[in-house]
């Protein structure tokens, strides 16, 4: 744990070079970031290649949304590894690391705001859902990410960190409801239920790991060190982003006709009755 604790005067703002130095001094933390930069880069190349013959309009939209996942990810991890989006926070009384200066890779929570909606857009389009459900899933997801960022950044009160955590969980419940209840039925109607089932299970299982890790990690009860917490997120990211996106894209490239013939979000007016 000590490697991730920056030694500096209380209330002194750590400079970016100091943060960079702290990341470099923690090989566990640094490796968790670099691995994802490499994998995101490879995924981008692979996904561009896999999409070369995708022509059907909705399949193309799914492809762009899927491609944006590693693109956002590589930007996010370069932000972290450079120290740009890593802060040094003094945890409030009550927190396990109270009074200590702790490295906070808050850029992760910020960039989930841009990557997770892409995952949901791709899944919703695959399920052939309507605009309202898509809007619901995506806005609730953005709410989850932004309040999760707030939970990580609050240093005035330990209690309020957990209040933000609970608000974020409430948004998450709405996302889970759409994924587990609404979209499976839509996917059955669209004839994409088999692949949707697989991707839904993968998504729900992995996404549940994030709040658990937050609670156990350095932001929460601090059972895990900053480096281990970061590896936890990096591991989840590898499965929830690159593996997930690969499975989705492979299926879409092979089944463009099924995707194209599903009841479309553009038919909302006709199906609303």
Q: Which residues contact 69 (CB under 8 A, 6 or more apart)?
A: 43, 115, 118, 119, 241, 242, 244, 245
Binding ligand RET (rule: CB under 6 A), the pick from 6, 137, 144, 190 is 144
Comparing CB distances to ligand RET, the nearer of 84 and 212 is 212
C-alpha Rg value of the chain to the nearest Å: 20
Stretch that binds ligand RET, among 33-41, 88-96, 176-184, 204-212 (CB under 6 A): 204-212
Comparing CB distances to ligand RET, the nearer of 20 and 174 is 174
Comparing CB distances to ligand RET, the nearer of 83 and 143 is 143
Q: Which residues contact 26 (CB under 8 A, 6 or more apart)?
A: 3, 4, 103, 226, 227
- Letters for 218-247 (x = contact with ligand RET by CB under 6 A, - = none) are -------------------x--xx------
DSSP string, 158-187: HHHHHHHHHHHHHHHHHHHHIIIIIHHHHH
Name which of 91, 152, 103 is nearest 5 in CA terms. 103
Comparing CB distances to ligand RET, the nearer of 3 and 243 is 243
- Letters for 147-186 (x = contact with ligand RET by CB under 6 A, - = none) are -x--x-------------x--xx--x--------------
| Beta-bridge mates of residue 87 | 104
Coil vs helix vs strand at 147: helix
Return d(Cα 33, Cα 234) in angstroms, integer.
Answer: 7
Comparing CB distances to ligand RET, the nearer of 124 and 148 is 148
Binding ligand RET (rule: CB under 6 A), the pick from 211, 235, 260, 263 is 211
* Residues numbered 99-128 forming contacts with ligand RET, rule: CB under 6 A: 109, 112, 115-116
Return d(Cα 46, Cα 50) in angstroms, integer.
Answer: 6
Name which of 245, 255, 149 is nearest 206 in CA terms. 245
* Residues numbered 6-65 forming contacts with ligand RET, rule: CB under 6 A: none
The residue whose Cβ lies closest to ligand RET is 148
Shortest distance, CB of residue 241 to ligand RET, whole angstroms?
5
Shortest distance, CB of residue 8 to ligand RET, whole angstroms?
27
Return d(Cα 150, Cα 272) in angstroms, integer.
Answer: 37
Shortest distance, CB of residue 151 to ligand RET, whole angstroms?
5
Q: What is the DSSP letter of 5?
A: B
Q: What is the largest CA-CA distance in the chain?
A: 64
Q: 191 φ, ψ to 5°?
A: 80, 20
Token pair, residue 93, equals 């009384």
Shortest distance, CB of residue 91 to ligand RET, whole angstroms?
16
Q: How many residues bind ligand RET (CB under 6 A)?
A: 18
Comparing CB distances to ligand RET, the nearer of 40 and 195 is 40
Comparing CB distances to ligand RET, the nearer of 207 and 262 is 207
* Residue numbers at the binding site for ligand RET (CB under 6 A): 109, 112, 115-116, 144, 148, 151, 165, 168-169, 172, 207, 210-211, 214, 237, 240-241
């Amino acid at each position: 744990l000590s490697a991730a604790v920056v030694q500096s005067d209380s209330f002194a703002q750590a400079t970016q070079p100091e943060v960079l130095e702290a990341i470099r001094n923690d090989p566990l933390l640094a490796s968790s970031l670099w691995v994802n930069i490499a994998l995101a880069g490879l995924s981008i190349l692979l996904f561009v290649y896999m999409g070369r013959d995708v022509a059907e309009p909705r399949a193309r939209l799914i492809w762009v949304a899927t491609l944006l996942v590693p693109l956002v990810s590589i930007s996010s991890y370069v932000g972290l590894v450079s120290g740009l989006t890593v802060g040094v926070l003094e945890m409030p009384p009550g927190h396990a690391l109270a009074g200590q200066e702790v490295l906070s890779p808050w850029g992760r929570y910020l960039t989930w705001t841009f990557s997770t909606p892409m995952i949901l857009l791709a899944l919703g389009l695959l399920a052939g859902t309507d605009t309202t459900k898509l809007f619901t899933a995506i806005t609730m997801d953005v709410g989850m990410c932004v309040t999760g960022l707030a939970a990580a950044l609050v240093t005035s009160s330990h209690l309020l960190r957990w209040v933000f955590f609970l608000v974020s969980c409430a948004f998450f419940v709405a996302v889970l409801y759409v994924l587990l209840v609404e979209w499976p039925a839509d996917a059955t109607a669209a004839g994409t239920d088999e692949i949707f089932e697989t991707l839904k299970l993968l998504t729900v299982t992995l996404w549940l790991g994030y709040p658990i890790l937050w609670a156990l990690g350095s932001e929460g009860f601090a059972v895990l060190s900053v480096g281990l917490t970061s590896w936890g997120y990096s591991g989840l990211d590898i499965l929830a982003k690159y593996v997930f996106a690969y499975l989705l894209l492979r299926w879409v490239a092979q089944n463009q006709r099924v995707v194209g013939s599903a009841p479309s979000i553009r038919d909302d007016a006709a199906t609303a009755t």
